[in-house]
Structure 1
């Protein structure tokens, strides 16, 4: 059955991470254990921030939203990847593939813009501490989060609308465990030079510019803190900035590798894709939490009360 855009492809074949049965079983157990531990931990972070009134600062509001975005992001590809480890014929429908494309870039784009909002929050906290509470009110924080979701949606829908108009007449094999624009558009039965350039700009250059902007802003904040009074509060602010920089590198590193180059297959593509879609997103809130004394202290008190 052909789609309205003239394509004869109704499904795509996913070659997966490995064709060896023993390796597939090992990867299934490894990812299942990781997913079963880290996913509840991220949910605990959200519940902790929501339940403790002392964690009502905008910084923790953004962290809870970051954890929620990462949980949603890691619900797009890992469940099917785990199921495909037990399937001899790994396929995904045309509609399922387009849905993966949309949600991967929707949630990923929203997270990028949320990190920009978190950087603005740190700028106000460090450069305008006396006006911080009045500037970063509940309305502004909600507006920044809403803008992040809207930005991610716009970024994603522009790509998906263009891709669904492409004709796919075969082959239909994707050398990966999920659908992404870097490989899907290569299967189109038409000239994709202009479209590839647009995708490179929309996903690659925009990601790179946001990455550089975040590094410059946090670098400037660290310099300002070094020149200021090295008090306990300033030391805490510097630690928070460093934590944000770590998350920025973890978030943007794989994305820059995947999208800031010609859309061709390279040996490390699958490894980077695993870290980009499965491992790193769930680790972002964990890294932030382990470096945050307030959240650790609250969790410790809860554990003591439970015991």
Structure 2
């Protein structure tokens, strides 16, 4: 009996420690109801999310001074994943913009009618087992049209563009302006990037050269066609270093800077077009 009273405090102490540990574990945020399909707004424990084996998709409201890279890092994913699951053509996010985020690197696919695991595996170039394992599924028949599933390791490629001139300064931006020669207000369909005569001009993205020659206003001009309906224009050139029909890589030198056409000094007039409609290059320019 004396032995019992001696060990009783020890037992009680151990019980308290176990209870405290269990409580600490149980107080971790529960994301079970959020796995893949739930889109409820949360204030997540980022560290806990990053350590989870299961993919979790959440809503995120962009805060002031947040960018896509910092958001991706918080959740343990990457920029390609965030862009892919939100279909973001531009990497620029605005405060209060609502986006989806996930704690894994890959892609979220919404299942369509009559879609099978075989067609998904072929589309994303992964195995059936990879898809089932990533989503905790024993059989794809557990899924229905409209369900969202996670495809690990997949990168959705977007048409990002390099700066066509290094160490340049912007002398005129995209939008309405007073024309430097004609002095009237008209829409400027690109960026003017100034540097010295003969400065190298590089291809902003991979593509096929579809025009090399002179055009009114542009002077000597190169046009490159890219994927996904994009094209880029390079105007006021001094000389060309590519030919029509040639395929070029991003960063490849294609021309030298000049001042041909309607120009007041050496600079590059650079345009990004989507299905031949001019868009603001600053939304797409990367490094």
Q: For the superposition of Structure 1 and Structure 2, which TM-score range results when normalised by the shorter chain? A: under 0.3
Larger radius of gyration: 2
TM-score by length of 1: 0.20
Say which structure, 1 or 2, has more relative contact order (CA 8 Å, 6+ apart). Answer: 1
